[in-house]
Amino acid sequence: MEKELEGRNVNLPKLHGAHVPHRKNTAGCAPVRMPVPASVTIPMSMHIGAPAVPTVKVGETVKVGQLIAAPGGFVSSPVYASVSGKVKKIDDMLMSTGRFMKAVTIEADGEQQVLETLAPPDVTDLASFLNAVRDSGVVGLGGAGFPTAVKLSVKDLKQVEAVIINGAECEPYVTSDTRTMLDDADWIRQGIELLQKYMQVPRVIIGIENNKPQCVKTMSDMAAKLKNVEVKALPPLYPQGGEKVLIYNTTGRIVPEGKLPLDAGAIVINCTTLAAIAKYVATGMPLVEKVVTVDGSAVKEPRNVIAPIGASMQSLFDFCGGFREEPRKVLYGGPMMGIAVPNTEFPVMKNTNAILALGEKDAVLPEPTACIRCGRCVDACPLNLMPAAIEAAYNRRDVDKLRALHANLCMECGCCSFACPAKRMLVQTNKLAKGLIMADNAKKKAEAEEKAKKAREKAGKEAAVK
């Protein structure tokens, strides 16, 4: 039944999810600019795709907005200096993923001198618009980090039936997108106008959870001045901001398994991402800073901070008064899908929307107990998966069963683990299950290639004999 309905406008029940704690403590806090840090460490990979390639050398003087790394391929993104000063080192750094990546460390001079040659790009058509988006250094700023120019590079614009602007911001604590909608509504408007002018977008939908009434009103007032733009106030049900969930809840369409949003006629773009594109087109200043929500039970003075990319987490926590208690866990992003880091020296990156420091009570996980077959994980899953069955199949290393259960569809939102009364590590197991499928796919591909190679060799020998 679901296969028959994929990609169509259908009247299905709303997708499931979890009612997570709100904890938007900083929603009313306008962003405050932090002092220029003594140094910044800027990774070459702050996006999905190939790492950027450094274009500067140790000892070189740089200014704000200066290119310090060029894209390493089509799916990549340029990187710019966020402070003025001198390149101190270019070295490998351990990323939160556990991998090493090149990073450029700049010793700041505190003067924030802007590169004199910066100027608004000359945008006259679709090609120059996409070039501007690429040159801006903008990637998915809601956390995904996918290069935005690649996302907007659509071969057939007729495929794009709707652009959905993601203002859901459904994770607890995080309010950086909220502040964009409240403080930068005009930049969002200019971003929409750019999409309508150069991509001929027929319909724009702004999706916002209805527990953000100020955002709904501000965006509705802005949308009223434009054509073919609407605001949809959505139920506050996590993970409302997930691409597939947002597409379904705004258009009624299902993104087929293994396909992209474009296959359902949609492009999803984060509201802060869109505002950043508009700023670059108007000013020529590339992405060099971010509004970051700094919060969590261990933080003394939670606030939204305007921070240069590459500033250490610790410098942001210090700007927010330090800690009220020793943090037991520090995260990039929200508590549902955030990534834990081993220390606070990790830098703010392009896609950092929040950093959280959690105290003992919020950080220590309870011990898991036996599954009681209650089905709450199934009821919570936004993609209608069966996490307990996936866990059982993974424990048996039954790859065929994992495929049959569509384990690869899991978006790792954590709803299953959140809803589980036995506190089982379901989302972690789902991730491992996806890795098992990937490894099996690679094995089968290698076996097929080896078989084909032997067949070619055999055919070659037989031809030689004849």
Residue ending a domain, choose from 319, 346, 362: 362
- Structural domain that includes position 278: 2-27+119-283
Q: Is residue 32 part of a domain?
A: no
Pairing of strands 204-209, 162-166: parallel
- Whether residue 200 is found in the same domain as residue 271: yes
Residue ending a domain, choose from 333, 362, 391: 362
Residue 361 has a pLDDT of: 93
Residue 2 has a pLDDT of: 37
Q: Is residue 42 part of a domain?
A: yes
What is the domain-level CATH number for residue 207?
3.40.50.11540
Report the alpha-carbon distance of residue 138 to residue 128 in Å, rounded: 15
- Whether residue 309 is found in the same domain as residue 455: no
Each residue of 410-427: b (16+ CB within 10 Å) or e?
A: bbbbbbbbbbbebebebb
Residue 465 has a pLDDT of: 81
Each residue of 178-212: b (16+ CB within 10 Å) or e?
A: bbbbbebbebbbbbbebbbebbebebbbbbbbeeb
- Whether residue 314 is found in the same domain as residue 431: no
SS (H, E, C) 63-104: CECCEEEECCCCCCCCEECCCCEEEEEEEEEECCCCCEEEEE
Q: Is residue 243 part of a domain?
A: yes
- Tokens representing 225 are 């001045």
Cα dihedral value 317, 320, 323, 324, nearest 10: -160
- Whether residue 271 is found in the same domain as residue 125: yes
Distances (CA, A) of 50 to 34, 73, 136, 377, 448: 31, 6, 17, 36, 27
Q: What is the pLDDT of residues 18-51, one digit of tens each?
A: 999 999 999 999 999 999 999 999 999 999 899 9
User: How crowded is residue 393: how many other Cβ atoms within 10 Å of its Cβ?
Assistant: 22
Residue 130 has a pLDDT of: 97
| pTM (2 d.p.) | 0.91
Beta carbons of 97 and 45 less than 8 angstroms apart: no
Find all residues with CB under 8 Å of 222, minimum gap 6, and list them: 185, 186, 188, 189
Residue 34 has a pLDDT of: 98
- Whether residue 299 is found in the same domain as residue 341: yes
Pairing of strands 162-166, 266-270: parallel
Q: Which residues pair with 266 in a beta bridge?
A: 162
CA atoms within 13 A on the CB side of 264: 30
Report the alpha-carbon distance of residue 97 to residue 5 in Å, rounded: 37
Q: Which residues pair with 204 in a beta bridge?
A: 163, 229
Q: Is residue 147 part of a domain?
A: yes
- Whether residue 162 is found in the same domain as residue 214: yes
- Whether residue 372 is found in the same domain as residue 245: no
Q: Is residue 331 part of a domain?
A: yes
What is the domain-level CATH number for residue 313?
3.10.20.600
Residue ending a domain, choose from 309, 341, 362: 362
User: For the chain, how many structural domains are there in total?
Assistant: 3
Residues of the chain with pLDDT under 50: 1-13
Report the alpha-carbon distance of residue 305 to residue 271 in Å, rounded: 18
